[in-house]
């Protein structure tokens, strides 16, 4: 598998070279450099902004039929290109090929959903006397600056591009410098499906330079960001300087409430797979296992057995159940968090160390009886670590779930129907899975509350987040 040449896509032109600074893109399974990525200078960003302004004037007047044709056409092309897209994503990010293919499928589902949803961007007419007319219309917000992280190299750009295009906006995407070719692959499907070149562009750069430049421009009317809460808070302040709309999908610290009436085997089978998906580098990853005392021993033993059986290896190998971590920062963070928890008295059941000295592999790790002041119980670990602690009753379990300022995804396992209702109501979280890990879908809003951000992607809400409301009164 050859890795593609890298470029920025500005006004339909592949921009690279010209003495620009570059960033080395690395294969996390080997540590080897795949290619050098050109980084934007101020002139590149100005050109992208001017193009986005033209793109918005053009696309805001597109018909639903045109938008639907582009979105469904891009979905068809992604289906045709699934193997190439998936292999590029695995090379750049490390996740298994099976996981990368699922990302392509998620994009296909989302683009097809939006292709239908564009026909349902409704306004309304108000009741008025004859001769007068009042209408409420939804219009695209304007050019969007979208920042996508590396953990879903295909899925994040798909979300960031799909919603603005469906809404009639133009978009400048800055995907992660770690995973540029995947983002360019998704964008190319849209362009090949007939999207005008002015409507969607891709730039890369020094993140702080790019975000300050784009958010400092009055041309950009909306910020869409996925990434850490720290960076999100910084960007939302930049956006506020110019009263720009924001959709912020930030960190999480997924609580999982396991009650003594749960189907423990089913909970273990699904939660272990979900925990170690993408080596735990998932914002909705289940992380804090809040387990009722009667099933605590069985749960942590079963979890550790299953975790230690996972085959870790290069994501390109069919035998690998979990790939490497995406960059050297992540195994460093795991070492720090696990050492801190053990120093404070936690028990390590499995894992807790790197694998080999090539690439960024880390063992699936399970800790129990982790003290509440351990760093991993307070900051998002974003890695292959499960924290399992015992609790006496529902009240204590809900209190622990809501203890942190994060509120993205939460999970619960119980057969008690009344308790299921209470969990749904009491947990402070944008998404809750009860007896399931399936908390998303093209038709379902994806987003958080509290420090996990605001606004939703996917579903009708994803398009609505790119629209403004206007009331027009005619006397
Ligand atoms: P980071 O916080 O530096 O970067 C996270 C993402 O934000 C990256 O894609 C990066 O390019 C981007 N970014 C950073 N500074 C930016 C800026 N000033 N302007 C625009 N974009 C900027 O850290 P990292 O080491 O890449 O990831 C570590 C942490 O980020 C994780 O622990 C996790 O909490 C969070 N993260 C969250 C998600 C998510 O899906 N919500 C995805 C990736 C990372």
| Alpha-carbon span 44 to 15, nearest angstrom | 9
Q: What is the pLDDT of residues 6-51, one digit of tens each?
A: 999 999 999 999 999 999 999 999 999 999 999 999 999 999 999 9
Q: Looking at residues 68-78, what average pLDDT do you find?
A: 98
CA of 394 to the centre of ligand 1 (A): 34
Pocket test for ligand 1, best of 231, 232, 239, 254 (most atoms within 8 A of CB): 231
The predicted structure's pLDDT at residue 316: 97
Q: Counting atoms of ligand 1 from 1, which one is nearest the CA of 329?
A: 25
226 Cβ below 6 A of ligand 1: yes
| Alpha-carbon span 302 to 321, nearest angstrom | 18
pTM: 0.97
CA of 294 to the centre of ligand 1 (A): 39
249 is annotated as an active-site residue: yes
CA of 341 to the centre of ligand 1 (A): 24
157 touches 183 (CB < 8 A): yes
Mark residue 77 as left, alpha or beta (left: phi above 0; alpha: psi -120 to 50; beta: remaining). Answer: alpha
CA of 412 to the centre of ligand 1 (A): 28
In degrees, rounded to 5, the angle at the alpha carbon of residue 275 between the alpha carbons of residues 271 and 277 is 115
Task: Name the pLDDT band for 194 (thresholds 50, 70, 90).
Answer: very high
Nearest residue (by CA) to ligand 1, atom 25, is: 329
Nearest residue (by CA) to ligand 1, atom 27, is: 228
Q: What is the pLDDT of residues 339-398, one digit of tens each?
A: 999 999 999 999 999 999 999 999 999 999 999 999 999 999 999 999 999 999 999 999
324 touches 28 (CB < 8 A): yes
Q: Which domains does the chain have, with CATH numbers?
A: 8-250+452-474 (3.40.605.10), 254-442 (3.40.309.10)
189 is annotated as an active-site residue: no
Q: Is the pLDDT of residue 1 over 80?
A: no
228 Cβ below 6 A of ligand 1: yes
Nearest residue (by CA) to ligand 1, atom 35, is: 228
CA of 51 to the centre of ligand 1 (A): 27
Please list, in sequence order, all residues whose beta carbon lies within 8 angstroms of the beta carbon of residue 20, skipping any fewer than 6 positions away.
38, 39, 40, 41, 44
329 Cβ below 6 A of ligand 1: yes
231 Cβ below 6 A of ligand 1: yes
Q: What is the pLDDT of residues 330-345, one digit of tens each?
A: 999 999 999 999 999 9
Concatenated DSSP letters of 283-345: TT-EEEEEEEHHHHHHHHHHHHHHHHTPPB--TTSTT-SB---SSTHHHHHHHHHHHHHHHTT
204 Cβ below 6 A of ligand 1: no
CA of 430 to the centre of ligand 1 (A): 20
178 Cβ below 6 A of ligand 1: no
Task: Give the chain's mean pLDDT.
Answer: 98
The predicted structure's pLDDT at residue 423: 97
Which residue is it, tokens 């090949």? 192
The predicted structure's pLDDT at residue 2: 86
Nearest residue (by CA) to ligand 1, atom 8, is: 149
232 Cβ below 6 A of ligand 1: no
The predicted structure's pLDDT at residue 71: 98
Nearest residue (by CA) to ligand 1, atom 34, is: 228
Q: Counting atoms of ligand 1 from 1, which one is nearest the CA of 408?
A: 41
223 Cβ below 6 A of ligand 1: no
Pocket test for ligand 1, best of 153, 205, 214, 227 (most atoms within 8 A of CB): 227
CA of 149 to the centre of ligand 1 (A): 6
Task: Name the pLDDT band for 125 (thresholds 50, 70, 90).
Answer: very high
147 Cβ below 6 A of ligand 1: yes
ipTM: 0.94
- Active-site residue, from 249, 394, 428, 457: 249
Query: How many Å from the N-terminal Cα to the C-terminal Cα in the chain?
Result: 65
Q: What is the pLDDT of residues 238-251, one digit of tens each?
A: 999 999 999 999 99
Q: What is the pLDDT of residues 273-296, one digit of tens each?
A: 999 999 999 999 999 999 999 999
Please list, in sequence order, all residues whose beta carbon lies within 8 angstroms of the beta carbon of residue 434, skipping any fewer than 6 positions away.
411, 412, 413, 414, 420, 423, 424
CA of 225 to the centre of ligand 1 (A): 9
Q: Is the pLDDT of residue 65 over 90?
A: yes
Q: Counting atoms of ligand 1 from 1, which one is nearest the CA of 150?
A: 9
């Amino acid at each position: 598998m050859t890795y593609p040449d890298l470029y920025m896509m500005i006004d339909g032109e592949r921009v690279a070279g010209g003495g620009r600074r570059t960033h080395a893109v690395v294969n996390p399974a080997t540590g080897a450099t795949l290619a050098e990525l050109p980084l934007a200078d101020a002139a590149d960003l100005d050109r992208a902004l001017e193009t986005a302004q033209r793109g918005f004037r053009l696309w805001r007047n597109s018909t639903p039929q045109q938008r639907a044709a582009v979105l469904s056409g891009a979905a068809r092309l992604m289906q045709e290109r699934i193997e190439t897209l998936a292999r590029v994503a695995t090379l750049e990010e490390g996740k298994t090929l099976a996981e990368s293919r699922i990302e392509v499928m998620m994009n296909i589902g989302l683009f097809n959903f939006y292709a239908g949803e564009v026909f349902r961007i409704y306004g309304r007419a108000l009741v008025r006397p004859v001769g007068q007319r009042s209408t409420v219309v939804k219009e695209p917000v304007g050019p969007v600056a979208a920042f996508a992280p590396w953990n879903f190299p295909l899925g994040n750009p798909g979300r960031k591009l799909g919603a603005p295009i469906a809404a009639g906006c133009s978009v400048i995407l800055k995907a992660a410098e770690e995973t540029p070719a995947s983002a360019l692959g998704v964008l190319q499907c849209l362009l090949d499906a007939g999207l005008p070149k002015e409507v969607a562009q891709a730039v890369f750069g020094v993140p702080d330079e790019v975000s300050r430049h784009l958010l400092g421009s009055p041309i950009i009317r909306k910020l869409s960001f996925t990434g850490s809460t720290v960076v999100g808070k910084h960007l939302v302040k930049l956006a506020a300087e110019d009263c720009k709309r924001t959709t912020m999908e930030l960190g999480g610290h997924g609580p999982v409430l396991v009650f003594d009436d749960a189907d423990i085997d089913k909970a273990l089978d699904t939660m272990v797979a979900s925990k170690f998906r993408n080596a735990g580098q998932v914002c909705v990853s289940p992380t804090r296992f809040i387990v009722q005392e009667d099933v605590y021993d069985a749960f942590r033993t079963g979890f550790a057995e299953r975790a230690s059986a996972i085959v870790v290896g290069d994501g390109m190998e069919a035998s690998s159940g979990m790939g490497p971590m995406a960059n050297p920062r992540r195994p460093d963070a795991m070492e720090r968090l696990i050492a801190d928890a053990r120093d404070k008295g936690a028990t390590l059941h499995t894992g807790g160390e790197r694998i080999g000295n090539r690439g960024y592999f880390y063992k699936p790790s399970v800790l129990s009886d982790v003290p509440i002041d351990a760093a991993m119980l307070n900051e998002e670990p974003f890695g292959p670590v499960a924290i399992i602690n015992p609790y006496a009753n529902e009240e204590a379990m809900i209190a622990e779930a809501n203890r942190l300022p994060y509120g993205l995804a939460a999970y619960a396992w119980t057969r008690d129907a009344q308790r299921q209702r209470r969990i749904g109501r009491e947990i402070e979280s944008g998404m809750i899975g009860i007896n399931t890990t399936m908390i998303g879908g093209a038709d379902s809003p994806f987003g958080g509350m509290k420090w996990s951000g605001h606004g939703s992607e996917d579903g009708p809400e994803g398009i609505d987040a790119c629209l403004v409301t206007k009331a027009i009164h005619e006397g």
